[in-house]
Amino acid sequence: MRVDGIIFADERLIAPLRTDPALEQVANVATLPGIVGASLAMPDVHWGYGFPIGGVAAMHADGGVVSPGGIGFDINCGVRLLRSDLVASEIRPRLEPLADALFAAIPSGVGARPGQRLALHDLDEVMCKGARWAVERGFGWSSDLDRTEERGEMVGAIPGDVSHRAHERGADQLGTLGSGNHFIEVQVVDRVLEPSAATALGLEVGAVTVMIHCGSRGLGHQVCTDHLTSMDTAAARAGIVLPDRQLACAPLGSPEANAYLAAMAAAANFAWANRQLIGQAVRAAFERVFSTPAVRLGLELVYDLSHNVAKIEQHHVAGQRIALCVHRKGATRAFPPGHPDVPAEYRAIGQPVLIPGDMGRCSYVAVGAPGAMELTFGSSCHGAGRSLSRHAAVRLLRGVDVAKQLGAQGIVVRAERRDLLAEEASPAYKDVEIVVEVSANAGLIRPVARLRPLIVVKG
């Protein structure tokens, strides 16, 4: 280990982690060349590919490496939150038709019906422009871009570094939700913890929100798969000895690293365009059910952020401001008030941080705090984090009707395969209340509002 490994946790979270291979992965990441500060794990940490999910690692831009395992297969998987002027009492009588409308409007699940079918040259434009491509074609409002990380358009994307196979996989997946832990959730704000920040974000108790969680689909997965192969060769050529082959990496500035970062940016832009289209489809579904234009319903974007990406950023290390390649895998930016990369309208409160829980428990909206810049390169948790593998969750809940249980809680569920809901049920996840509490106590975030689910749409 070139640096320490640091896990943000309390005794409730660390006890089950003591036998989790995620801790070994934290130690393995600490061996990578050019790593700065520490190998970090957020409170939602769990085992992943190479890096733990919930892992953060910053590498010297000069002398460090980039590792696809530190970003993940679902490049720019992220969360988008819409607020509204609707209140819970207005929406409860229409939960069933609204759930049907959302499920019909947004393709979900593995092998679901296709989304926007794109010619390869149009797909290249999506990978260059990101969310802007969608807005230019009427899928959303210009204000959406102001409230999206990087304005939904990561610079440096080169579609030519994305393989033909990745192009093929992404050609009909734009505007689709996917499967696994991806979801659309209609929620109600049931608690406000910091009123001034909540007001700035357009949130108040009783208001209806919509949270969208998805990423770059098969295109991003293929980008990661393709470039892992070239990374093996690059690491060997550079004489880098790895404790785990899944940490395959390339020196920053090398042809392999440059090609991967260009393809990663292209996949990230695809993901932002994907969430932009889904967000607009959500607005259209509300319009149909409530017979009212989305603008009159107040269905504005609060924020859209990424939690699977690497970025070249400036940070203070040992009193010097230096360029670092910050890997965030299952972790989000949590920039504090005053940071220039926070949208101007939110700069006084800090960057919004969106923290999904699970489909039977609450989610949180927070804002970045100064401690994140001091301790985690401006990063925080991205959700509750799994406590059980999908197979273990299915074994535990064999014979349990998860949809019926959620219905008893007043939560309407729509899913392509109801038998797979056990994989995403509450027992499969850590308690988001604890994860948020630990993150706040460490000074990484300031919790603003809690959101309780009313409708869950799953793949």
Q: Give tens-digit pLDDT for 9-62.
A: 999 999 999 989 999 999 999 999 999 999 999 999 999 999 999 999 999 999
Mean pLDDT of the chain: 95
State the sign of the Cα–Cα–Cα–Cα dihedral 224, 4, 437, 311.
negative
Residues designated catalytic? 382
Examine the pLDDT at 268 and tell me if it is beyond 60.
Answer: yes
Q: Give tens-digit pLDDT for 334-390.
A: 999 999 999 999 999 999 999 999 999 999 999 999 999 999 999 999 999 999 999
What torsion, rounded to 10 degrees, do the Cα atoms 214, 220, 221, 224 define? -130
Dist. CA 287–CA 194, nearest whole Å: 31
**Token pair belonging to 317:** 């290390």
Q: Characterise 111 by phi-psi region: left (phi > 0), alpha (psi -120 to 50), beta (else).
A: left
Q: Give tens-digit pLDDT for 301-333.
A: 999 999 999 999 999 998 999 999 999 999 999
pLDDT in the model for residue 111: 57
Q: Where are the beta strands (DSSP E) in 229-335?
A: 250-251, 301-306, 308-317, 320-329, 331-333
Q: Which of 186, 217, 209, 208 is nearest to 102 (CA)?
A: 186
Query: For the domain 4-458, what is the CATH code?
Result: 3.90.1860.10
pLDDT in the model for residue 265: 98
Task: Count CB-CB contacts under 10 A for residue 119.
Answer: 9
What mean pLDDT is predicted for residues 421-425?
A: 92
Dist. CA 401–CA 433, nearest whole Å: 25
User: In whole angstroms, how far apart are CA 405 and each of 167, 210, 400, 409?
Assistant: 40, 22, 8, 7
Q: Identify the band that residue 116 occupies on the pLDDT scale cut at 50, 70 and 90.
A: confident
Q: What angle do CA 104, 106, 107 make, to 5 degrees?
A: 90
Examine the pLDDT at 256 and tell me if it is beyond 80.
Answer: yes
Q: Where are the beta strands (DSSP E) in 61-163?
A: 65-66, 78-87
The pairing of beta strand 4-7 with beta strand 35-46 = parallel
**Token pair belonging to 138:** 């009427």
State the sign of the Cα–Cα–Cα–Cα dihedral 73, 74, 76, 79.
negative
Q: List beta partners, residue 82.
A: 210, 301
pLDDT in the model for residue 149: 98
Q: Are 329 and 184 in contact (CB under 8 A)?
A: no
Percent of the chain with pLDDT over 90: 93
Dist. CA 258–CA 281, nearest whole Å: 35
pTM for the model: 0.96
State the sign of the Cα–Cα–Cα–Cα dihedral 236, 238, 240, 246.
negative
pLDDT in the model for residue 92: 96
Q: Give tens-digit pLDDT for 57-96.
A: 999 999 999 999 999 999 999 999 999 999 999 999 999 9
Q: Are 177 and 213 in contact (CB under 8 A)?
A: no
pLDDT in the model for residue 108: 79
Dist. CA 148–CA 136, nearest whole Å: 15
Q: Decide: helix, strand or coil at residue 382.
A: coil
Q: In this structure, what DSSP letter does residue 157 have?
A: -
